[in-house]
Structure 1
Amino acid sequence: MALAAGPEVLRFRVPAGRGTALLVWGLEAGPGVEHSVFSAFSEFGLVYSVRIHRNAGVAGPGYYALVKFYSARDASRAQRVCNRQSLFQKSPLKVCICTRQKVFQQQVLALRSYKCKELANYYLGFNGWSSRVVTLQNISGFDLENEELGGLPQRQCLKYLCMVEVTLPHHGICSKGLGVAEAYVENSQDPLEFVTKTGNVQKLAAEKALSGAFQKILLIVLENGKVAVAYESAQEESIDSLSDEELRRLIQVNDLSLEQLNLEDEEESLSDFSFDDEHL
């Protein structure tokens, strides 16, 4: 599938655009096959994921892989070079481009924080960005159900709100994101376990805030490989222009939806895609 010339815009979201995924047929069973596929296709660009599946019964023994890139340009180049090549096994592989992903098209899935870091490091360099925690607030309460019954609460809700700032010094961009995480703990729980769970909730809130900050940053990859950066915020009143002290005074606890931050771990299968079979 030929791609139109010009810059390619990448967002810090789970890649779901046209032409970013490849179907690799003809994999031979063996230890480390997923690692072999990942290593071979990583030569062409940053790979988001590799999923290995066993062939359906009617297709005979063997495996196939779904390889998802962040960049459709990288995926197209990998398909052209790797199709009908043996690569890491004796028999040649068949590689085609998935032209349309049939599911998850209505939802925009944010990348998790470690994937955001991976994408930023690849295109901006390890010194091309930095992050810091602006504020981390305990917004915990007690279990409302027990309170309404008039008894003593049996468990406590640990809930933390975090704000993280991401800075791209070479591009003059500063973006802030909010994250909320919560967990319930029994009041009779061991104090050490309570401290551990508190730390885990704080860490998760910070990770969600970092992901939120990256959502407003666009990577524009030019044909020559150079990368430009743009800022895009959908918020009516951006928090990015406020000082740290103004942000701390402004933050109020609202019913923030967490579903949008927890939708990344989908399972992919062959039935989720359609394919460009021109080269098969």
Structure 2
Amino acid sequence: MAIQETTSGAILLSAEKNKSAVRLVGELSKDEDNQQTIKLSVNNKYDKCIQWAEGEIVRPDYNITTTPIYDALQSSTSSRLEAVVLDQNQEIFINEYEKPYVYKMFIIGDNSGTVSLIVYDHLIDLLKINDTFIFTQIKWKKIHDKIILTTTPNSIISHTRNVVNPNLHNMEESMSFNQMDVQQISTCFEEITNSQKQMTCVSCEQNLIPIKGKEHLLKCHNCSKFAWCKLNDFNETFVLQIDNEKRSFTAVKDVLETFFQQQNANLSLTFDNLLKYYMFNGPWKITLSHFHNLILHIQKI
């Protein structure tokens, strides 16, 4: 039975002719070159493992536009690159907001130049030196006063047999990029802000006020109803002075609140108390991540 004699085959051939989209129902697998293949089982001429579908056509790699590295470094939106992997560094493990993850720095290149690329988690194992890959949903990031590229939660990396001849005119600059992420510094807080929204009463929508000495309880002064508030439910931004430049950081969950409570057992954990303590008792020894603008640990000098 020829493919064009089946219902699915007729749909597929018609879709190719009319440049329209179809939906495939089958088993997806990968070969040793990381190429994805879908296996369709046509049991009889009336099988519909291929169905009509509304949507845009997903074209092969060679028909989809890719962005040169040079343009991606200046783009306000995510980019799709085709580049060869030129170099790699050690994996770094970090715990952010109680979620562990790993990342690794690579250098990739195309005909516009080279650049450092941060790759996260499961995408790391897909890359291989001297091979060419398609990188989708890639964004730029400023680190150590340099613009580099990074994967995102929506990034996809796929191997391609296409040959890319990289332009190495800025390879020395890419290799000399300061890859130091985690660093311990001694500094003072320049500014601390809290973007936590004011809690309101569910009955009359008036602002709730903390009860003095019992800040975990909130009370509406309009209707006198009570509400409960998590003491450490803050959303602070910390401004630090680093190398004569002011930079903003967030902090690993509860790291500053926990240290505050250890040092001030008799004080309530409120944002005002937190602000006064860290602003007026410096300098502090702070461990931070440059790549993620994140405070990892703090201690008193």
Q: TM > 0.5 between the two?
A: no
Query: Which gives a bigger RCO, structure 1 or 2 (Cα 8 Å, sep 6+)?
Result: 1
Point out the structure with the larger strand share.
Answer: 2
TM range, smaller chain = under 0.3
Greater gyration radius:
2
Point out the structure with the larger helix share.
Answer: 1
TM-score (norm 2): 0.26
